[in-house]
Chain A
């Protein structure tokens, strides 16, 4: 079952995509993701896991790799009460689901590090295994949802342009 990775410290783009490995291929860069604050993260994170971050998640530079590595590692969603603006945009443009959560829900007692959960993109919610509680996240506008489902901005546009081009041409 998927688990929750909770970060109460500031997570900046340098922690997500460390500068020292920025020239390395994404697969290598990803092995260093978050190692400064949680050395076991990259090795243990599983497909479908969810990150719960402190406010202003992804603050720092405009490097797109900060979002790209999380997606590469299989993270299903990043949830925070607020995001740094450029990270938020980059995440959606690269197909990484990001959701905001109100401050009172953020303090929900079940949202502890390591909690087992199931995340559902369609309903924008997480279901905590221990209590059965369902936590509703702020739903994204439809066209941003579509962009994420397509895998990000470029594949999304590719689809749009193909649809607009008459077949067989």
Chain B
């Protein structure tokens, strides 16, 4: 039986089937670029080639990294980005509407069966929709924009199965950190990971996105989840167009994959990853009493609507402890509007949260709120490499929004279940 990865690559390369190790040239259905790695890098290369983008309807441009632009340098980058979009006639331009990996699906750009590339390392997020999507560098992006094609060596698939069901206050983020802890940062060896099993099927789309997004942390090229009725309902709700054959991609590939890993969702505890690697993950209880001063709910990984709602369910009627600053940067304007409409934002606000722009912000080490020397942050983001979120001496622990919120209230790191069930 064919894997989902091979099926998607075969379609994109115009062949009836492909084998692991084949090098093929694929047609790109969609290319996403953002302000940081996008126009300012690819424009000179396209000019050298004397080319415009191959299909202006298949390019999506998002400004999210240098938002808000607050220096002359970043203002110039945004001005260049906006002018390039005009010059190239790009009609899918999302200017300061949120983080690229969240904006793409919520605007209906990702549907099962697609083959996509993104100029950002967390581009595997698209895999949550049954699309083959991966991140590429600027030179390669220039090549894609000039030709609409990209080469690929067909990867092996690693099947990661999650059996049973998650307990309360345990999330996709905890699953992800547990996987990083178990198989490490290079565990994916640039293969395609496919997540499967009952605990995956349970998850709403925004939670699935967290798993696909952080396939990058496992070293995988793609992080796929077979599309199902949950996927279809999401795509319809955001106004996307499902292909007639979308159900052909409901491939769980359980039998045909040699590399298997199995995790039990029922026994999973909330996780925390210590500095400076997501692979330093362990049960949150192990970090009991660890002090910190900044609680951050942010990034494509950790500040989608579901994440804001999770944090609010803990913070309702509670307040952040003295000595801790809670900063929340909703991942997109749409998600923020939804959270405003149903009262989630006001719960966060009453608990003491301060809101930042719908952008990468301090996850990318950018802006006034970035961490100062010696600050310790408990964060719902994806990466805690040394100095990533600010000063070289700052430290970042990673956790789910539940754990960040509960710890912010407790004034020290705790397992959220202690507060909610204890």
A residues engaging B (CB < 8 A)?
56, 59, 61-64, 82-86, 88-90, 93-94, 141, 143-144, 152-154, 157-158, 161
Contact = CB atoms under 8 A, between A and B. Distances in A.
B413 to A, nearest CB: 28
Nearest to B22: A141
A88 to B, nearest CB: 7
A64 B219 contact: no
B23 A144 contact: yes
Interface in B111-145: 121, 135-140, 142-143
A59 B184 CA distance: 12
Contact of A152 (B135, B139, B147): B139
B393 interface: no
A90 B219 contact: no
A157 B143 contact: yes
A-B pairs, top 4 by smallest CB distance, nearest first, are A85-B190, A141-B23, A153-B143, A64-B137
A83 B140 CA distance: 18
Interface stretch (B46-54, B305-313, B395-403): B46-54
Interface string B303-341: 000000000000000000000000000000000000000
A156 to B, nearest CB: 8
B179 interface: no
Chain B interface SS verdict (over half): mixed
Contact of B138 (A61, A64, A83, A161): A64
A64 B121 contact: no
Interface in B189-231: 189-190, 219, 221
Contact of B136 (A63, A89, A143, A157): A89
27 contacts: A56-B189, A56-B219, A59-B219, A62-B136, A64-B137, A84-B186, A84-B219, A85-B189, A85-B190, A85-B219, A85-B221, A86-B121, A88-B190, A89-B136, A93-B139, A93-B143, A94-B139, A143-B23, A143-B25, A143-B151, A153-B142, A153-B143, A154-B49, A154-B139, A157-B147, A158-B48, A161-B50
Given A62-B121, A85-B190, A154 B219 contact: no
B51 A153 contact: no
Contact of A154 (B25, B48, B189): B48
- Which residue of A61, A90, A93 has the most chain B CB atoms within 10 A of its CB atom? A93
Given A84-B190, A85-B190, A86-B137, A154 B142 contact: yes
B45 interface: yes
A93 B48 CA distance: 16
Given A59-B219, A157-B143, A82 B189 contact: yes
B23 A154 contact: no
B146 interface: yes
A61 B364 CA distance: 13
Nearest to A68: B139
Contacts of B190: 83-86, 88
A90 B151 contact: no
Nearest to A161: B49
A154 B186 CA distance: 29
Contact of B49 (A62, A84, A144, A157): A157
Given A62-B136, A62-B137, A89-B140, 8 more contacts: A56-B186, A64-B139, A84-B190, A86-B135, A86-B190, A89-B136, A154-B49, A157-B146
A139 B186 CA distance: 25
Contacts of A64: 137-139
Contacts of B139: 64, 90, 93-94, 152-154
Nearest to B190: A85
Interface string B26-68: 0000000000000000000100111100000000000000000
A34 to B, nearest CB: 19
Contacts of B140: 89-90, 93, 153
Contacts of B136: 62, 86, 89
Contacts of A157: 49, 143, 146-147
Contacts of B221: 85
B137 A90 contact: yes
Interface string B351-385: 00000000000000000000000000000000000
